[in-house]
Structure 1
């Protein structure tokens, strides 16, 4: 069974670009897609707290997990190596990262070397992006003479449209904001609403 795992960090992003690249790869290699799993969650969240954990648990020997790039299954080098080691060496599955054209096979030395190299490269790229973002922030702040404010205005949440019968994730998508913006808004401006668990995630419900 070939399982595709798609992940984006926020509701502002979508998985279309990831899926297009994977579909092209699968077509070129004459492979079929049996199942697609989508998830909106930060890569900083550990795999066991994401859908990825259940996906990896369900895979059996000989199955293949396909992602757009190595960083989709972990945020740092040790996390990625641990997940792929468990998936391939312990469970006997295969792993494909399309963007890097990387095919990890069980107990294959060349695959292990390539995995290590790609993971380090991905981590260095993230560190450089963070450094560039920080440098840009400091430059703009210095040029603004103290008038620069980082992030959204504090009152931006007042314009949110809240439907108490939808999940917080759905409300965030409708308003094109992060789910934390919704929870902050409710705490500050909608005292008539409270949180109640339903189907393993929070929804808004009348108190």
Structure 2
């Protein structure tokens, strides 16, 4: 049986592309996790391994959707193979049923890890350079007095959201986020 696995980092990310690709290659079951790849706890991946049988084929659209690091990818594929199943990654055209496929898989994993490490390194260097110039990272803090004023104006229903933004300097998203938090707390 062909079994697909999908992972997206956030609930709001669209899975249609991955579902379509796995369906087109004949996957009878598809397991979907909606969590960051850095989390080890992926309940649907665990279910996949519970249901995996000899001669099944686990298919992913790309390696980055399956594992968090080179070591993690290798361990996951070894787990697939230890259960008598095979592994295929569509984007990288990897099929671990052959010696060459296994070799290519290891090389691609190493390059993926290198790319990830370079991105992290560049981000850290960029933040360090910005701090050296007096800039602080992260989102700017919302002025609580301006936010209270924005809420009062919102409740009067006399100004549009755009006008409230202009008067208070509080963005629409910050205002709605605050209102939604207050609504949840009052429930």
TM-score, normalised on structure 2? Answer: 0.69
Q: What per-residue deviation string (whole Å, max 9, x for no partner) do you get for residues 98-125 of structure 1?
A: 11000112xx432322221111111001
Structure that is richer in strand per residue: 1
TM-score, normalised on structure 1? Answer: 0.63
2:91 match: secondary structure? coil
Aligned structure 1 segments of 4 or more residues deviating by more than 6 angstroms = none
Structure 1 unaligned blocks of 5 or more: 163-184, 193-205
Q: Which residue of 2 aligns with 1:117?
A: 107
Q: Which residue of 2 aligns with 1:14?
A: 14
Q: 2:51 aligns with which of 47, 54, 58?
A: 58
Contact 1:71 1:119 in 2 (8 A): no
Contact 1:80 1:119 in 2 (8 A): yes
- Structure scoring higher RCO (CA < 8 A, sep ≥ 6) equals 1
Report the number of matched residues. Answer: 156
Q: What per-residue deviation string (whole Å, max 9, x for no partner) do you get for residues 92-148 of structure 1?
A: 11111111000112xx43232222111111100101111222333344555xx53x4
Contact 2:6 2:66 in 1 (8 A): no
RMSD between superposed Cα atoms in Å? 2.7
Q: What per-residue deviation string (whole Å, max 9, x for no partner) do you get for residues 12-68 of structure 1?
A: 432234345x25xx75xxx4221222221111111x543111112111111111111
Q: Which residue of 1 aligns with 2:119?
A: 129
Q: 2:36 aligns with which of 42, 62, 75?
A: 42
Structure (1 or 2) with the larger CA radius of gyration: 2
